[in-house]
Structure 1
Amino acid sequence: MTLTGDNVPTGETSEGCTGYSGYDDIAKGASVTVYDSAGKVVATGSIGTGKPKSAACVFPLSVAGVPEGSKFYQVEISHRGKITVSSTEAKAGKFTA
């Protein structure tokens, strides 16, 4: 399965749509780590090019090779902490980190 979604850092955006003011680690190529419900790393990837949206910058993410069968997944972008995503949300790409 390929896990897809969006990363929307809070705060304003700078020219070129990258994070800043404490979010400068959020930019194209920032790491994405996917964990299964047991806390095991099951896949890694990176975020794509940010696009401005209102007062934020939306970064698409796509991580291939995520094994199916976990009740939920945790997604961590850079060092920003894990968010929990249901298996259904992960498959549908319907989550925001």
Structure 2
Amino acid sequence: MNTRLSPLAAGLLGLAVGAGIVGGAWAITAANGPVDPGIFTLKGTFDLTDSVVPDGTGGCGGTSGYDDISDGTSVTVYSAAGSVIATGALSNSRYDEGGDCSFDVNVPDVPKGEKFYKVEVSHRGTLQLTAAEAENGRFGGSLG
């Protein structure tokens, strides 16, 4: 027995399947949340090269005048005009054989549109970088 769908039934079935696929894609996208094209995460590294103390687990921090530098230390991003526009923190400290301490820098939700950005770790003064450097994860700072 060979039964065929009528053109109308086939069209309705195709419409239902297509709507289900599109609806599923929308649900997955909505669950992950929209990405705002007007923001980025400033990424990079920060190195402490003096008065470093290992923490015994491969991490490290500062001491003797640099004790404000450790995992969790604030990182502030300023606009070209000097206003605070985003904050983050140092993380993932790594003690190297040379005695230096390296940290990851991650500052989410930095608004795009500045000609340059200023970045400050703790209260240690600002470092300036271009918009392209900031948006492409090329922040690099050091102290010590």
User: Normalized against structure 1, the TM-score is what?
Assistant: 0.92
Q: Number of paired residues?
A: 97
Match of 1:37 in 2: 80
Secondary structure at 2:110 match in 1: coil
Out of 10, 24, 48, the position equivalent to 1:9 is 48
Match of 1:75 in 2: 119
CA contact (8 A) 2:51 2:66 kept: no
Larger radius of gyration: 2
Q: Any stretches of 5+ residues in structure 1 without a counterpart? A: none
CA RMSD of aligned residues (A): 1.2
Percent sequence identity over matched residues? 44
Amino acid of the residue matched to residue 40 of structure 1?
S
CA distance in 2, matches of 1:83, 1:42: 15
CA distance in 2, matches of 1:83, 1:25: 18
Provide runs of 4+ in structure 1 moved above 6 Å. none
Bigger relative contact order (CA 8 A; separation at least 6)? 1
Match of 2:92 in 1: 49
Match of 2:63 in 1: 20
